[in-house]
Amino acid sequence: MRTDSPTIRLGLNIPLFIAALIAMGTGTLVGMIGIWIAAAWGRPVPEWEKVGHAHSSWWAVLIMIAAMVLPSIALKPWAKKLVIAGTFIGPTLWVGTLAFYYEIGGPAFWRVPNPDAPGTYYEIPVVGPVATILEFVGLLALGSVALLASGVKIPLISAKEPPAKSRYELVTDIEVPRRIFLVPTLFIVAGVIAGFAITFIFKAFHRPVSPAALVQLHDHTALISTSALIALLALAALRVPRKIFDLAYKLMLVSLPLVLLGLVLFNFAGVHSIVWVAPAGIYYLIPVIAFLAAVGLFRKQSSSDPGHNLGPSPPLRIALAVCFAGLLVLVANGAQLALVWDTHPNITVTYMQPEGSPYPGPYPAKYIGTAPAKGTPRGIENAHLSPGSWFHVAITWLVILALVGGQMFNGGIFNKPGMIYLYAITIPLAPMFNMLGRYLAWLGIPNGIGALWFAGHPIKGFNLISLFIVALLAVYVIRKKS
């Protein structure tokens, strides 16, 4: 059953945005601890830190998208509170569960000797199921928000009418078609289910993932879907003409199913990687359109009110253009990796960094967890992964500023208009320094990775912490005024 309105207004639920920042902070902290300890003592980054860092950070992006639509969906008050509460604790507790398993006594802490076979043991299945439940609850909460945003009514939690706007919610006049949320949601769920299957079939029984490209079936399906949705939201914030927005939407409808089908054929039929990279090229056109919109190629003016509906201020437009430009380079690097090296489902360019090796480290001659393709430039892979994710976070932050920055800083809550200009500079700088450090390290420039460690990390930390403080102060000011 569909809702009456074919569109939904964008805005921001501030408590849910705070929850997203907590999840982002958790993932960022785990990642920084891993990379700095590796740099200081040469310890390979544990797998749980890599997974915890990536998952928590990308869950945070999904929570931020949910925060943009939550003020306008017809959700029962108790369900709304449950979504906010669950996102506050879900990703953080999930990462904490991983740390508890691997760092407090290690896996042996959960083992008991097998009296019938000396030297063997039983492992108590406690932590794994708990972590799975926490992620499943997060998927259920955010999936419900996404389905409601797309117009699907869920009888248990749907309200007849959208509730009155909370005092901690901001709503704009920017509307997007509800249909843009449905297809990405379905494919994100498909990717997450593939991740659960990988965890259960392989990780729970300590077996190597086979074929290795099953990991791509999990993460590329979810991440490309999320990326396409973020680009569409950016186009809405940029107020592009309807025909441009519809073109990007149709490209998403074509590309996402073909990417998933291609990844299935790549994994289970052994077809060359072109089978999924080619449809990913269709998706690639969506951030291209978003970049062109950010530089001002597509301008929409009202004939009755010239200058109205021109979108965000020039600094935010420039910041979005910079982020999309960097993203286009890094996504192209991913296609390069897939077409040149990662051409078989049993080969992956990801591997465990050998202990004591200089960054970016030689490829190991012996199989140590995955099967690296000989000669693959590790630095390009790192650039594709890390700054590519940072740019998606940056774009999401900038879209939120484009939507509600005026209400937040131009007298609505704070009278600090300069904050918008500050963030327009610092938000793109963090992933830019990340990308610079990765490329300099790949090129063998001495201490080139320092661009990430000594510039990218501090700026990302500043953006994250200051946005968290601003959001908390906004809640305090609104409560005080009320």
pLDDT at 303: 43
pLDDT band at 3; cut points 50, 70, 90: very low
Neighbours of 45 (CB within 10 A): 17
pLDDT digits (tens, 9 = 90+) for 294-324: 998 887 655 444 444 557 889 999 999 999 9
pLDDT at 2: 43
pLDDT digits (tens, 9 = 90+) for 129-141: 777 777 777 778 8
User: Domain ranges in the chain?
Assistant: 7-481
pLDDT band at 359; cut points 50, 70, 90: very low
pLDDT digits (tens, 9 = 90+) for 56-90: 899 999 999 999 999 999 888 888 888 888 787 77
pLDDT band at 119; cut points 50, 70, 90: low
pLDDT digits (tens, 9 = 90+) for 416-445: 999 999 999 999 999 999 999 999 888 888
Burial class (CB in 10 A: 0-12, 13-18, 19+), 260: buried
Q: Using alpha carbons only, how large is the chain's radius of gyration in Å?
A: 22
Asked if 56 and 30 count as a contact pair (C-beta separation under 8 A), the reply is yes
- Looking at domain 7-481, its CATH class is mainly alpha
Model pTM? 0.90
pLDDT at 259: 97
DSSP per residue over 382-420, as a string? HHHHHHHHHHHHHHHHHHHHHHHHHHHHBTTS-B-THHH
Asked if 220 and 153 count as a contact pair (C-beta separation under 8 A), the reply is no
Sequence-ordered list of residues with C-beta below 8 angstroms from that of 107, at least 6 positions apart, any chain: 101, 123
Task: Tell me the sheet residues that pair with 12.
Answer: 170
**Average confidence score pLDDT of the chain:** 84
pLDDT at 141: 82
